[in-house]
Amino acid sequence: MIDRREALRRTALALAGILAGCKARRTPAAAWRPRALDSDQAELLATIAEHILPETDTPGARAVGVHQFIDALVAESYGAEERQRFLAGLAALDGRAFLARPAGEQLALLRELDRAGDPFFRSLKELTLVGYYTSEIGATRELHHAPVPGRYDGCVPLAQIGRTWAV
């Protein structure tokens, strides 16, 4: 269980990452170079994020650059101790062995980590969700974003709304 202090720390780090992301647009995948991770770690992170939020009728986590968001967060907002903890968590997943597995086995391993309440995996899921839903695609194509709220209608059938509503 996460105590209040740890929850506040995580929230502060996530907010710092969001604010850092406001500085510039996402770098195209071909030109992007990780800053806190090496290329193998970045590929592992992108693969895991895609398992967490796969492509459906909307782009998945890899397509919106969640791995780039997390790399920037770790590089710019994590202190040395938090960065080492994050990198150790990635290392514990044994990236090359993980990536060599078929997708079904990868997903089964991640589900087991989730069921076991693995602290690193829970943190990674949280970062993936924050990165995805604060991206342009996540906010506009996945969520129904209303930049200027309109009238209040307190009784709307769920079928009319469809996905989650964000303002």
Q: What is the mean pLDDT of residues 58-86?
A: 96
Provide the percentage of residues in the chain whose pLDDT is more than 90: 62
Average pLDDT value for residue range 90-95 = 93
Q: Is the pLDDT of residue 17 over 60?
A: no
pLDDT digits (tens, 9 = 90+) for 104-161: 999 999 999 999 999 999 999 999 999 999 998 998 888 876 666 666 667 777 777 7
pTM: 0.75
Helical H segments across the chain, by residue range: 4-21, 39-52, 61-64, 66-76, 80-92, 95-100, 103-116, 119-133, 136-137, 158-161
Mean predicted confidence (pLDDT) in 29-53: 94
How does residue 23 score in pLDDT terms, banded at 50, 70 and 90? Answer: very low
Buried b (16+ CB within 10 A) or exposed e, 107-118: eebbeebeeeeb
Assign 164 a pLDDT band (cuts: 50, 70, 90).
low
